[in-house]
Amino acid sequence: MKKRIITLLLAGITALSAAACANTEGTSDGAAPDTAQQTEAETVKIAYLPITHALAVLEEAKELEAEDGLKIELVKYGSWAELTDALNSGNVDGASVLIELAMKAKEQGIGLKAAALGHRDGNVIIVSKDINSIEELKGKTFAIPHRQSSHNILLNLALEKGGLTVDDLNITELAPTEMPSALAGGQIDGYCVAEPFGAKAVSLDVGKVLYTSEELWADSLCCGLVLTDKFIESRPETAKEFTERYKAAGNSLDAEKAKETAKEYLGQDEDVLDVSLKWISYSDLDITKEIYDSLTEKVKKYGLSENPPAYEDFVKNDF
C-alpha cells in the first residue's frame, strides 16, 4: 500500500514538472507567456465620434489593419458625454475629443495628456437662410455641442464682430447629428459644430455659412488626440509608436484619401463630404505652446474655465 502511495506521489510531481517546463518554454526569463496580455499590449483602444475631426485616427486604424503589430480598437460613441465618461473612467486608452473637455477633465484631476491635434480649421458658423449678419442673431436660438468646446469660443468671437454677447441669444446644447434637422425644422436659427454637420445643412440647402473658423480664429484648436496617463506610463513604447503613426496618418490625408476614409467610417453622402473637406486639414498636428496659450486665453476670457491646465502639465510632445 505504501509503495502505491509513493508511486502516485512521484507521478504527480513528474506531471507538475512537465507542465512547468511547458509553460516556460520559449521565454528568456522563465515567465509564462500570456497571449491575452500580448494582444492587449499591441492594441490601443480609442474612443471617437463619427465626425471628420476624427479622420486622422480613423485613417491610422485603417493603415494598421493591413500590417502586423500595433492595432487600434475603435470605440464609437454618439455623444460627447458618453465619450468623456469612457475616457475619464479609463475604459479606453485615449480619444479623439473636444480639447476643452479634456482640459476640464485634467483640471478636475483626471490623468490625461494631449498628444496631438485632431485637425486644423474645419468649423463653420451655420445660420438659417434668412439671416444675413451676426447682428440678426440677436434674440435667436443658437446651438453648440457643449459649453466646453471651441464652437462656444467661435460663437463668442462671431458675436463680438456684431457687438453682441451670448446673453443676447438663447444658447442650447445639442448632439451634432441633431443640428441640421433642428435648423431645418425651425427649432434653432443657427449652430456651430464638428463637421460634417455644418456641411450637411449647406448640402440640404437649409442653412448657409456665416463664418468659417479661420475667419474668426487663425490656427484654432478644436478636437485633439488625448491619451490617459495610465496608458502612457504602463505602455510607453506603444504610446510613442501610436502617436507617431497618428501624426503620419494625418500628414498622409490629402483630399482624395480623406474622402475615402470619411466614406468608409462616417456614412455621409459624397456631396456633404465634398463641402466639408474643403474647410479642414490634417497635416502638422503638433500642439505648440503658442497655439495652446492662445486657447487658454480664450477659455478664460469666455468663461469656459478659470484655471485651465498649463501647457507643461497637459501637452505631451516628448514621447
What was the pLDDT predicted at 16? 34
Tell me which fold the domain 124-216 belongs to: D-Maltodextrin-Binding Protein; domain 2 (3.40.190)
Q: Where in the chain is the domain with CATH 3.40.190.10?
A: 36-121+220-314, 124-216
Name the more confident of 22 and 82: 82
Q: For the domain 36-121+220-314, what is the CATH superfamily, name and number? A: Periplasmic binding protein-like II (3.40.190.10)
Tens-digit pLDDT profile for residues 104-123: 999 999 999 999 999 999 99
pLDDT band for 27, please (50, 70, 90 cuts): very low
Tell me: pLDDT of 18 over 50: no
Report the Cα 81 to chain-centroid distance in Å.
13
Name the more confident of 10 and 202: 202
User: What 8-state DSSP symbol labels residue 139?
Assistant: T
User: What 8-state DSSP symbol labels residue 316?
Assistant: -
Tell me: pLDDT of 102 over 60: yes
pLDDT band for 29, please (50, 70, 90 cuts): very low
194-210 burial, b if ≥16 CB within 10 A, otherwise e? bbbbbbbbbbeebbbbb
Averaged over 20-45, what is the pLDDT? 48
- How many other C-beta atoms are found inside a 10 Å radius of the C-beta of residue 165? 11
pLDDT band for 261, please (50, 70, 90 cuts): very high
Q: Is 82 helix (H, G, I), strand (E, B) or coil?
A: helix
Q: Which residue intervals of the chain are DSSP H helices?
A: 2-24, 35-41, 55-65, 80-88, 99-107, 150-161, 179-184, 197-203, 213-216, 229-234, 236-252, 255-266, 270-276, 289-301, 311-314
Smallest CA-to-CA distance from 199 within 274, 128, 143 is with 274
Averaged over 244-257, what is the pLDDT? 95
Name the more confident of 170 and 255: 170
User: What 8-state DSSP symbol labels residue 69?
Assistant: S
What was the pLDDT predicted at 220? 87
What was the pLDDT predicted at 66? 84
Averaged over 23-40, what is the pLDDT? 40
What's the chain's average pLDDT? 88
pLDDT band for 86, please (50, 70, 90 cuts): very high
Phi and psi, residue 51, nearest 5°:
-135, 160
Tens-digit pLDDT profile for residues 137-171: 999 999 999 999 999 999 999 999 999 999 999 99
What was the pLDDT predicted at 319? 84
Name the more confident of 23 and 113: 113
Question: What is the edge-to-edge ordering of all strands in the sheet holding 141-144?
Answer: 170-173, 141-144, 190-192, 124-128, 207-212
